[in-house]
Each structure stands twice: as structure tokens, then as C-alpha cells.
């Protein structure tokens, strides 16, 4: 039976686990110690509510966060192509053959990755795009502390983009062998992402509906009622008071539930969380798009789930109307330097990442989701006067 509520230290420890891939004792000793001191309570809550494993080692702590619905922002945002991910996994395979603290050159790992690469066409380090991929991968491995950069010629790893003769000396760390999750079966048996995700549910069959609902609430910006038989959303709606109380006793969040949406909100912004809206220009543009949509709801035909569909051309027309009305207060990038397509593309990507819209794979239509009505932004009546 779970104890009632988390104290401030336990809430902070839970936040650290959600907001970081892992906590390294060497780099963040205070954070590591905070989690260790509250390990028992954290493990119990994380296991019972989310079905996650909390891995505690003498060198690091890691909560293995597995989403219900993988989103693109959950990937490695610095990677630009699928090749980057393949090279990354080949890099991890290379590190498995090296003992902790072993040193190796960039040319050594490049040669090994070239041999391990399973692509239809082989890697070619004379190809600029291939070298750029490897640069992104090596930088990410350093950032994740899977390897350390010890020494290099002038220019460091970036110089490899321009010359395959560039050398960098690296050192393997203990963390690389813990990066990948352990699965109950070989990944070779999996054909799709869903196959991999389903393996996690095979060991989380008890109270799986609750765990799915909590994962959606805590990992995604918004949880939607996706159809009439949506069991995850039904759990939230049926037990909303119990879930709300539980969330508010263990985290700094408050829970809102409407007919078609459930979301966690912060009473005030906290630095450790990435939240919407922030101070970036695209947040302002998104809020202005929301305001325009809410003022013209009669122009949007909505289904029982609160969704409205637009063609790409209609979305660009909408953005153009918003630009005419609000651009005076936008950043110079979007006020003067960007055309309509650039603004529409950037706004659409931002709205997708925050689950305000989605794009239907079958039709390409842009679907406005119910949370568009949750937050809007407008200028004060005397804005232009003050600007002048």
C-alpha cells in the first residue's frame, strides 16, 4: 500500500527521473543522493502507477520511460535521418566490445561502424552526408556520457565533416552498456515499433489500463478521447477524482479533465519543466492561431471528439489571416524575414509537438484537436499605441 503523498524532496526526485535520461553520480552527486534517499518510495510509486523499472546502480540511476504512443519529440532531436539512429546503435555495439576506460581513435570506431552497418548500401566516408551523420552520433554519445573525448586535432570531431583524416581520441565509459533497455525477447523477432512496445506490456499485464493512462498523462502534453471505446480515457474519466488527488499529492501538477481531453498543468511555470507557452516566438504565434480559431469556431465543422479537419491550403490561409492581425508583435524572424510557407511549416511543427494538431497519414489533412480551445493569446487594446 502506497504512503499518502510525496514530500517536496520526493517530488523533486520524481521530477529528476522524468526530466533526465539518467542521473550520473559523478556529474550530479546531489541529485543522485536525493533519489537514493527516497529510493523505496519512488520505486513503489513508479512501479505501481506506471509499471516502470527504476534502475539504481552505484554509478547512475535511470528510470526507463516507455511511452504508450511514441512521438517524434521523444526521439533524439539532434538526429536528422534514420541513418543517424543506425550509426548510433552500431556505435553502441562497438562500445560493447571495449572495456571501461579503453581508448580508441575516431578512425577506429568509423571503421568498425562501417563493418557493422546493415544498410542496403554501404557507408562511404568520402560522402559528406555520411560523415555528418557520424559527427552527430559521436557528439550525442559524448553528450550522453557513453564516451569521453580525450584529445583531438584542431577542430575536434566537427572537422571530420570536412576531412575524413581528422582524428579524435575517445575513451569508453561504463554507461554505454546500460543505454539500451533489456527486452524479454530478441529485437530480431520484432517487425514493427508496436511489437517492441507490446513486449513491455507482456511484463506489465497487471493493472495495465491504469499504467497506460498514467503514462499518457505524465509523458504527453494532452491525453485525448480517441474513440467511443477508448479504455485509457475512460479510466481517467471514471476515476478522475482519485487520479487527480493522486497526481496532486505526488507531483506539482494539477489535472484538468473535459469531455474529450485530460491534461496536467502547472499553477506557475517551473524552470525544470519544458512547458507551454514559453518565451519563444512560436509559442506566441501558436497562441494567436488558437485565438483566431476560437473567434471563428462557426467556420470549423467539429466531430463528436472535438476535432476539425483542414487541408494544407486552408491552414496556410488561416496562418495568413493570423499574420495580418498579429505580426506587429512577432519576432523579427517571423515578422520580416519569413514567408508564409516558413511560418506555416514552423507553426504546424510546433503545434504537432504540443499535441494541438495532428496530421492524418491517410489523407494528409491537418486535424485541429480540442486543446486548441484551452489556451489563447491576444494583445492588449493599447498594444500598438505602446509599440509606437
Contacts of 34 by beta carbon, 8 Å cutoff, 6+ apart: 9, 12, 13, 16
Residue 179 CA to residue 96 CA, distance in Å, equals: 11
| Rounded CA separation 6/263 (Å) | 20
Closest alpha carbon to 175 in 62, 264, 284, 75: 62
DSSP symbols for 321-361? HHHHHHGGGS-HHHHTS--HHHHHHHHHHHHHHTTSEEE-T
User: Rounded CA gap, 104 and 176, in Å?
Assistant: 15
- d(CA 182, CA 194) in angstroms, rounded, equals 16
Residue appearing with cell numbers 552526408 = 129
In this structure, are residues 45 and 250 in contact, taking their beta carbons and an 8 Å threshold?
yes
Mean pLDDT of 143-151: 95
Q: What are the pLDDT digits (tens) for 202-212?
A: 887 788 999 99
Q: Cα 323–369–254 angle (5° rounding)?
A: 105
Mean pLDDT within 366-381: 89
- What DSSP character marks residue 182? P
207: left (phi over 0), alpha (psi -120 to 50) or beta: left
Please state, for a pLDDT cut of 70, what percent of the chain lies above it: 97
Q: What is the pLDDT of residue 203?
A: 80
DSSP 8-state secondary structure symbol assigned to residue 161: G
**Which string of DSSP letters, residue by residue, matches 292-313?**
HHHHTGGGS-B-TTS-EEE-HH
Q: What is the mean pLDDT of residues 322-327?
A: 92
pLDDT at 385 over 70: no
d(CA 120, CA 195): 23
Distances in Å between the Cα of 369 and the Cα atoms of 217, 264, 290, 345, 357 are 16, 16, 11, 17, 5
| Angle, CA 177 vertex, CA 175 and CA 179 arms, to 5° | 70
DSSP class of residue 99 equals -
Is 388's pLDDT higher than 50? no
CA atoms within 13 A on the CB side of 271: 0
Please tell me the predicted confidence (pLDDT) of residue 350: 96
The 10s digit of each residue's pLDDT in 12-27 is: 999 999 999 999 999 9
Q: How many CB atoms lie within 10 A of CB 127?
A: 11
At residue 114, the pLDDT reads 96
Grid cell listed for 320 = 495568413
Report the mean per-residue pLDDT for the chain.
Answer: 92
Q: Give the per-residue pLDDT at 1.
A: 45
Within 13 A of 371's CA, how many CA atoms are on the CB side?
23
What is this structure's pTM? 0.90
pLDDT score of 150: 95
Per-residue model confidence (pLDDT) at position 253: 95
Exposure string over 162-185, b if 16+ CB within 10 A, otherwise e: eebebebebebbbbbebbeeeeee
Question: Does position 44 have pLDDT exceeding 90, yes or no?
Answer: yes
Phi, psi of 54 (to 5 degrees): -105, 110
Higher-pLDDT residue of 208 and 269 is: 208
Residue 143: how many CA atoms within 13 Å on its side-chain side?
13
Peptide bond into 277 cis (omega under 30): yes
Per-residue confidence band for 384, with pLDDT thresholds at 50, 70 and 90: low
Task: Give the chain's end-to-end CA distance (angstroms, integer).
Answer: 62
Q: Report the 10 Å Cβ neighbour count for 190.
A: 15
CA-to-CA dists, residue 384 to 294, 326, 329, 331, angstroms = 22, 10, 9, 15
Amino acid at each position: 500500500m502506497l504512503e499518502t503523498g510525496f514530500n517536496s524532496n520526493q517530488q523533486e526526485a520524481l521530477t529528476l527521473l522524468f526530466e533526465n535520461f539518467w542521473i550520473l553520480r559523478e556529474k550530479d552527486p546531489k541529485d543522485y543522493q536525493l533519489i537514493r534517499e527516497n529510493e523505496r518510495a519512488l520505486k513503489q510509486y513508479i512501479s505501481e502507477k506506471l509499471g516502470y523499472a527504476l534502475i539504481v546502480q552505484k554509478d547512475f540511476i535511470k528510470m526507463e520511460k516507455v511511452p504508450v504512443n511514441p512521438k517524434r519529440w521523444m526521439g533524439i532531436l539532434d538526429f536528422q535521418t534514420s541513418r543517424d539512429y543506425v550509426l548510433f546503435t552500431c556505435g553502441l555495439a562497438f562500445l560493447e566490445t571495449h572495456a571501461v576506460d579503453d581508448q580508441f581513435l575516431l578512425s577506429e570506431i568509423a571503421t568498425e561502424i562501417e563493418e557493422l552497418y546493415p544498410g542496403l548500401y554501404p557507408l562511404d566516408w568520402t560522402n559528406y552526408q555520411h560523415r555528418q551523420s557520424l559527427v552527430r552520433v559521436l557528439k550525442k554519445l559524448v553528450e550522453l556520457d557513453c564516451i569521453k573525448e580525450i584529445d583531438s586535432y584542431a577542430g575536434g570531431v566537427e572537422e571530420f565533416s570536412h576531412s575524413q583524416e581528422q582524428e579524435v581520441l575517445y575513451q569508453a565509459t561504463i554507461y554505454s552498456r546500460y543505454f539500451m533497455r533489456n527486452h524479454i525477447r530478441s529485437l530480431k523477432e520484432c517487425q514493427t515499433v508496436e511489437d517492441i512496445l507490446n513486449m513491455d506490456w507482456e511484463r506489465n499485464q497487471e493493472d495495465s489500463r491504469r499504467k497506460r493512462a498514467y503514462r499518457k498523462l505524465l509523458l504527453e502534453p494532452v491525453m485525448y478521447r480517441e474513440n467511443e471505446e477508448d479504455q485509457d480515457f475512460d479510466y481517467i474519466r471514471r476515476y478522475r477524482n482519485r487520479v487527480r488527488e493522486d497526481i496532486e499529492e505526488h507531483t506539482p501538477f494539477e489535472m484538468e479533465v473535459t469531455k474529450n481531453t485530460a491534461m496536467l498543468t502547472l499553477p506557475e511555470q517551473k524552470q525544470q519543466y519544458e512547458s507551454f507557452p514559453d518565451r519563444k516566438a512560436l509559442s506566441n504565434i501558436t497562441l494567436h492561431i488558437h485565438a483566431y480559431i476560437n473567434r471563428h469556431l462557426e467556420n470549423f465543422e467539429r466531430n463528436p471528439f472535438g476535432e476539425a479537419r483542414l487541408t494544407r491550403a486552408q491552414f496556410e490561409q488561416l496562418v495568413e489571416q493570423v499574420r495580418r492581425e498579429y505580426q506587429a508583435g512577432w519576432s523579427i524572424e517571423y515578422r520580416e524575414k519569413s514567408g508564409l510557407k516558413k511560418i506555416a511549416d514552423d507553426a504546424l511543427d510546433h503545434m504537432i509537438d504540443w499535441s494541438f494538431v495532428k496530421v492524418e497519414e491517410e489523407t494528409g489533412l491537418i486535424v485541429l484537436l480540442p486543446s486548441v480551445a484551452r489556451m489563447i493569446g491576444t494583445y492588449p487594446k493599447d498594444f500598438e499605441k505602446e509599440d509606437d
